[in-house]
Amino acid sequence: MGLRIGIGIGWMCLVAAELTGSNSGLGFMIMYYYSTMEAAKTVAGMLMIGIVGYIMFIGLKKLEDKLLFWRTVA
């Protein structure tokens, strides 16, 4: 559980750093397309951030379930 929370916070920090001071990455792409007023590409970048975050969450959840097989689901 803690690893999933940590990965989520790390992912948010990474994207925030890309939004403010980077020359590459999803955050940079969003800011670039936002400044050029290309709404569809801006939303596509936002969706990609959500999709990647969700995939990381699901992957870590499955890994957690496999490694901590003795834990009961509450």
pLDDT, tens digit (0-9, with 9 covering 90-100), for 18-71: 888 888 888 889 999 999 999 999 999 999 999 999 999 999 989 888 888 787
At 1 the pLDDT is: 75
Q: Is residue 72 part of a domain?
A: no
pTM: 0.78
Sequence-separated (6 or more) residues with CB below 8 Å from residue 56: 7, 8, 11
Q: Is residue 73 part of a domain?
A: no
Tokens 């995939």 correspond to 55
Rounded to whole angstroms, the Cα distance separating 35 from 42 reads 9
Which residue segment(s) compose the domain that 56 sits in? 2-67
Q: Is residue 52 part of a domain?
A: yes
Q: Is residue 74 part of a domain?
A: no
